[in-house]
A = this chain, B = another copy of it.
Amino acid sequence: MNIGTASERSNLPSKTIRYYEEIKLVKPARAQNGYRDYCDADIHRLRFLQRSRSLGFSIEECRTLLSLYEDKNRASSDVKALALEKITEIDRKVEELQGLRNTLHALAENCHGDDKPDCPIIDDLARKF
């Protein structure tokens, strides 16, 4: 199976798939013409990567997950630990973003948003500490 088909089936751009090969995440066979030749197991790995990346795992975390996936003797606790860690990380990020959001919102509330140069948002950014 050529890379174009692999791309369609995994929902990943060809460029990304080549990149994943470069960093040794997926190693397809090569056809005689030099084209990459993906088997079903490769597609499976690619989809696994697509999904775990979209769930916010970093490439290195995906590498770990993939090896856990392929380790028949893995402990589910290892995977759970990674997931829980990720949840904490997401919670932290959400909190931070909501803080920013609230600050910006408060500033925008106080800004009449007209033609005049008077602007509390700018004033806040420029405030002395």
Contact = CB atoms under 8 A, between A and B. Distances in A.
Interface in A72-96: 72-77, 79-81, 83-84, 86-87, 90-91, 93-94
A23 interface: no
Interface in A103-128: 103-105, 107-108, 111-122, 124-128
Interface of A: 11, 44, 47-48, 51-52, 55-56, 65, 68-69, 71-77, 79-81, 83-84, 86-87, 90-91, 93-94, 97-98, 100-101, 103-105, 107-108, 111-122, 124-129
One complex includes copies of this chain to the number of: 2
Given A79-B111, A101-B94, A117 B65 contact: no
A96 to B, nearest CB: 9
Contact of A111 (B83, B93, B100, B101): B83
B113 A76 contact: yes
Contacts of A114: 75-77
Q: Is the interface of A mostly helix, strand, loop or mixed?
A: helix
Given A93-B97, A129-B47, A118 B76 contact: yes
A116 B104 CA distance: 48
Contacts of A108: 80, 83-84, 87
